[in-house]
A = this chain, B = another copy of it.
Amino acid sequence: MRNFIKEAFADFFFEYETPRQVLVKNPKVGIACRILQLGVLAYIIGWVFIYEKGYQIQDTAISSVFTKMKGLAYTEQNGEERLWDVADYVFPDQGVSSFVVMTNFIMTVGQTQGKCPELADGSNNCTTDADCKKGEYKRTGNGRMTGKCINGTCEIQSWCPVQDDRVTPNPPLLAAAENFTLFIKNSISFPEFGVVRSNLVESVTPSYMKTCLFDPDNQPLCPIFKLGDIVSLSGFQFSKIAQLGGSIGVLIEWECNLDLRIEKCLPKYRFEGLYGNNSAASVGYNFRTAKYYTEDKIQRRTLMKVFGLYIEIIVHGQARKFDIIPTLTAIGSGVGIFGVATVVCDVLLLHLVPKKNFYKTLKFKSIPEEEEEPESLKMDQTKEPKQEN
């Protein structure tokens, strides 16, 4: 037993097997196959490794965004002067990654619960009380019908008076929003690599931020953006989008090669409308919000239909770093492709070249079924069977 193990061990460790090959000196086949093999090598090295960075492992970012709007707008309606500041025109207040900047609005002050006529917008018309079924709602109605028809429209239980939103103010009331500024602070981390980064990179100092304004060519790293610039860089015209509102995405893209210095890991800002060209189906951006209060012991509310710019900061981060596994996987697969090239060359050699029969002879040693196993053959250390004659 010990001898058997010892012999098996010696056989395993002290021997080495290598495939036998035929070396064909045929220039046409030689050149064709070398070109094929060099092509595969060029693909592996050039495309997989260099262009697609196949030797690197990839990780997606975890991100957090903080925003702060700044700016003031002034309106004069019916002799009433009014200044609008951040607490008035940003929804919500907290500085999150998606928010609305109000650019236009319809305000109905001091609504109270009660009964009043519906809006005469063409869908609530009636001629007699029978047209207004008590307790029911019209599809685009503003309240619960009471059963009465008053002056051509149904009477409803609702917050009264009903808001008249048939005409949206033009020009937009807060057109001055074009000059508002947005400050974005974005922190990303790549957990696989233990890297944490912020868009306030090395070159963005407090003094720089006091005066800078984002410009895609001259100041691409400034985290302060003029709202009008954001709109125009998205391909919209501010005066047009401000009346009925719109949705804009601010994309912060991080493409970091962590094999380089960390200072080269910089954000790129892009701006695009969020609902593309398919705007026929759904135009603008608006929502209704109300401020509730009590006056003379009656609960009241001021209803605002807010039109504005819905801004969403979307962070998309990918980092790459050298790792042994994708490298060896790429090499391993490359060797496999090399094998395919070899098969193609073999086909060339054995089927398309004039001397193919000769080459086949040399490549293959054919063993017919019926040939007897010569008794003189032993397992190992045998010389070439040429001794048989």
Contacts and interface: CB of A to CB of B under 8 A. Distances in A.
Tell me if A's interface is mostly helix, strand, loop or mixed.
mixed
Given A72-B143, A143-B72, A159 B21 contact: no
Contacts of A226: none
A280 interface: yes
A328 B333 contact: yes
A16 B20 contact: no
Given A21-B20, A93-B91, A368-B25, A113 B81 contact: yes
A352 interface: no
Size band of the interface chain A makes with B: 35 or more
A41 interface: no
A233 interface: no
B282 A185 contact: yes
A159 B85 contact: yes
Nearest to A308: B94
Given A113-B83, A157-B74, A290 B247 contact: no
Oligomer: number of copies: 3
A379 B360 contact: yes
A83 B144 contact: yes
A278 B15 contact: no
A66 B335 CA distance: 50
Contact of A23 (B288, B362, B365): B365
Given A81-B113, A332-B333, A363 B191 contact: no
Interface of A: 12-27, 29-31, 33-34, 43, 47-48, 52, 54, 62, 64, 66, 68, 72, 74, 80-83, 85-88, 91-96, 98-100, 109-110, 113, 135, 137, 141-144, 156-159, 185, 187, 191, 196, 198, 200, 204-206, 209, 247, 249, 251, 253, 274-276, 278, 280-282, 285, 287-295, 297, 299-303, 310, 312, 314, 316, 324-325, 328-337, 339-340, 342, 345-346, 349, 355, 357-369, 373-374, 377-382, 384-386, 389
Given A64-B249, A72-B143, 18 more contacts: A13-B30, A14-B27, A15-B23, A15-B25, A16-B33, A20-B365, A22-B367, A66-B247, A66-B310, A83-B113, A87-B301, A110-B294, A198-B276, A200-B278, A205-B280, A205-B281, A331-B333, A357-B377
The 4 closest A-B pairs by CB, nearest first: A332-B333, A332-B336, A335-B336, A293-B293
